A and B are shown apart, each in its own frame.
Chain A
Amino acid sequence: MTATPTQLRPTRRIALGQHMNELSLLAGIVVLYLVFASTANGFLGLYNQVNILRDAATIGIAAWAMTLIIISGEIDVSTGPMVAFISVVLAYMLQWGWPTVPSMALALVVGGALGGLAGVLRAHFDVPSFVATLGLWSVLRGASLFFTDALPVSIGRNDVVDALDRSVLGLPPAVLIMLVLFLVFWFVSKRTAFGRSIYAVGGNPQAAFLSGINVRRIRITVFVLGGLMAALSGVLLLSRLGSGNATAASGLEFDVIAAVVVGGTALSGGRGSMVGTLLGVLVITLIGNGLILLGINPFVQQVVRGVIIVAAVLANIYAIKRSQGRRG
């Protein structure tokens, strides 16, 4: 910064401060790449890079909606069971010989409706969203296990479903869907009345209400989106595994929430960004991928991951505080 012409300094500094979160995450990703590239065999290979993106899609698609939910001051812990439940429901529909595309659409609707149920409990009955979605978590996991006896529900050969797992331009469709949805969610959060209302509701629900914003509708809608995105992940999971799986996506909700929080979104609501979440998803995915390549004991992997996540958030908070301190 010393080389910058003096008259440019103030604006530069403010711009830097505003993007401190993203910059520090980018730096973190570079560090992770350097570490894993030099220690893990095959990390930089094309095959592994595509794999990273595929894993990122699993977390990312749900994380886009989770970002909006957390910005609105709420939380959704039902993601993992929702993904598994929808994959099971869709597998049964296909087993019964229902037409594929309408079945998929119906599966998405079911996901959105279940999410909306949690939203209604929050918005109209003041059930804390953690409790509402925790209930949903248990119900969905239990129901999937009960109906399938914890066994995979095979769907046999299905051209449409198989097509969903065939690479386009060398990338799995899930990755493309994730990237397209990222742009959609980025636009919604930045440029629509709905998106900005989410920030207002999360930042000060009372003020948002007094401004005439329909706070209840906003709260319900973010949970509908949460259910919808989890259902979409469920559909993609089915296409990847070729079967509905009641035990799949175990603990996914924690990866998703971790990605959003590492991305700089405040759990208290009102602050966060889609770009931050995108970088957060990459951080979480890279950690998972690299630790597996290094052949570390899977139990130790969990320990290391936990430490890295907390360290990342801590470093981020520190970086933001420092840049704000300098500005003020």
Chain B
Amino acid sequence: MSTDSGTAPVVALANCSKQYPGVLALQNAEFELRAGEVRALLGKNGAGKSTMIRLLTGAELPDSGTVTIGGAPLVEGPSRRAAEAYERGVRVVYQELSLVMEMSVAENLFLGRWPRRSGVIQQSEMTAAAEVALSRLGVNLAPNRTVASLSPAERQLVEIARVLIGHPKVVILDEPTSSLADAEAKLVLSAVQRIAAEGIAVIYVSHRMAEIRQIADSVTVMRDGRIVETVPIEGADTREIVRLMLGTEAAERAAIMPPPRGTPVLEVRNIALAPKLSDVSFTLHRGEVLGIAGLLGSGRTELLETIMGHRPRDAGTIRHDGRNLSGSSYRAMVRRGFGFTPESRKDAGIVPMLGVDENTVATDFGAVGRWGILSPRRIADATRRVVDRLHVKTARTDTPIGTLSGGNQQKVVIGRWVHAGSDVLLLDEPTRGVDVEAKAQIYDIIRELAAEGRAVIFVSSEIEELPLVCDRVLVLRGGRLVEELTAPGIDPDGLLAACLAA
């Protein structure tokens, strides 16, 4: 892990800028990394981390500036650039695993480049090479096991071992531990340390400060497309890093003044779901917007899904209006007046080919018909009410929802629970992938729904938006609630620091 400042950098960005339609994704970026160095890259969503990674891998060309890898600038055009960067030794391990589940570890390591002789794969040669590759990471895995039989951490290690095979110079790891429990993450961390010890430069994207302190030499903080600062990890204060990440953005919206607390609607006690959640307890009140903050992998989605009965819990009780709900199915929860909007709108939120109307009334067909026979007029009326109420921009009520913008789709996904008359709303990342204007509208909608006496749980990984919407925020870290902040005392800095910890 020694940093030899005498040698030339392996990777350098010089005055790089990149413009996307409507947004300056990267602005005059200067970045250098030396062999064997581990650099943590920090920044909230949209800060420019992905853009920078895409420039390094040759997936994008900078509008201006040069990308230098291994002492020479990348010169190729868009079609050949990624291959050029690859040849120079840039490798990325992405969040989404790209392994073939039913194939062996060895086959995955050499996927598509299996050692072969006249088309026949040389099994023993491949196994031996796989063992060498894995031992470089200090991993003891039988190369003939299928990936499906591995733990999430082991799969991540296979993914890392795969990029090491071609003797890379730079390895970029994009939140490799976000889906891992702490104990599992240690395996990945020690692998990263071994890579660096071999003289490979590592860019480590993560938000877990404890990990960063363990393995990184220094931290580069990005904000709004700029590299704000690079600080050595020793002596860096978490609060200071948070300040660099958030900058001095003033909250443009009036702070929430919480109304007097209503009666308890939902009481969650000692919920556990190994290994994601342990001992989670809180109470949600009528008319309240309760935020849940936490990093990717902190157990946010699991918590909501457990409450909704979508995941069976290991322990704990849930009471709604004083009644114990044990083992209620998802549909039973819906009938009790719970509404849930999923994190991934496209995969689980909308039926893209159906109209806005049918996506809205699907939660309660009974309200728009009788004996299962639907009334087109009542469907149109009910949809019109939701569309007006939530300011959904759509030409007609039967426009296929897949053609709407993300923000308008999200409003419909929330609106279907307004149609169903739900009084407890569990919203998982309702503003993800939504433009700024729609975000503000969604905040207003959530406040209105709460003002009408509904209770709302608002999960978000965008720390800054929680103070704008929530009466109270709980911080989830490593599957536990670690902190509670109440408006008007919710400040983004404190929240982010609590999420990062250490």
Contact = CB atoms under 8 A, between A and B. Distances in A.
Contact of A197 (B335, B359, B362, B376): B362
B150 interface: no
A214 B331 contact: yes
B415 to A, nearest CB: 12
Given A199-B358, A210-B340, A214-B331, A194 B352 contact: no
Interface in A169-204: 191-194, 196-197, 199-200, 203-204
Contact of A212 (B342, B354, B420): B420
Interface string B365-389: 1100100111010000000000000
B373 A191 contact: yes
B334 A196 contact: no
B376 A208 contact: no
A6 interface: no
A15 B331 CA distance: 37
A207 interface: yes
B436 interface: no
Nearest to B364: A212
29 contacts: A191-B376, A192-B373, A192-B374, A193-B365, A193-B366, A196-B354, A197-B362, A199-B351, A199-B354, A200-B358, A204-B347, A204-B350, A204-B352, A206-B342, A206-B348, A207-B349, A207-B359, A208-B362, A210-B310, A210-B330, A210-B342, A211-B362, A211-B416, A212-B334, A212-B362, A212-B363, A270-B351, A270-B354, A271-B353
Interface size class of A (residues with CB under 8 A): 20 to 34
A200 B359 CA distance: 8
Contacts, number: 73
A196 B348 contact: no
Contacts of B310: 210
B351 A207 contact: yes
Nearest to A269: B353
Contacts of B348: 204, 206-207, 210
Contacts of B374: 191-193, 196
A203 B420 contact: no
Contacts of B335: 212
A318 interface: no
Contacts of A191: 373-374, 376
A209 interface: yes
B377 to A, nearest CB: 12
A29 interface: no
A97 B373 CA distance: 41
A209 to B, nearest CB: 7
B350 to A, nearest CB: 6
B106 to A, nearest CB: 30
Contacts of B351: 199-200, 203-204, 207-208, 270
Contacts of A204: 347-348, 350-352
Interface string A99-127: 00000000000000000000000000000
Nearest to A187: B373
A200 B416 CA distance: 14
Contacts of B376: 191
A210 B369 contact: no
B372 A193 contact: yes
A134 interface: no
A208 B342 CA distance: 12
B177 to A, nearest CB: 27
Which 7 residue pairs of A and B lie closest in terms of their CB atoms, listed nearest first?
A193-B365, A203-B351, A212-B334, A206-B348, A211-B362, A204-B351, A193-B372
A226 B366 CA distance: 26
A23 interface: no
B331 A212 contact: yes
* Residue in B354, B359, B364 whose Cβ sees the most chain A Cβ within 10 Å: B354
A210 B349 contact: yes
B372 A194 contact: yes
A139 interface: no
Contacts of B373: 191-193
Interface string A198-231: 0110011011111111100000000000000000
Given A192-B374, A193-B369, A196-B365, A203 B331 contact: no
Interface string B317-348: 00000000000001100110000101000011
Nearest to B360: A211
B363 A211 contact: yes
A204 B330 CA distance: 17
Interface in A9-67: none
B327 to A, nearest CB: 17
A197 B374 CA distance: 12
Contacts of A208: 351, 362
A144 B365 CA distance: 42
B353 to A, nearest CB: 5
A213 B374 CA distance: 15
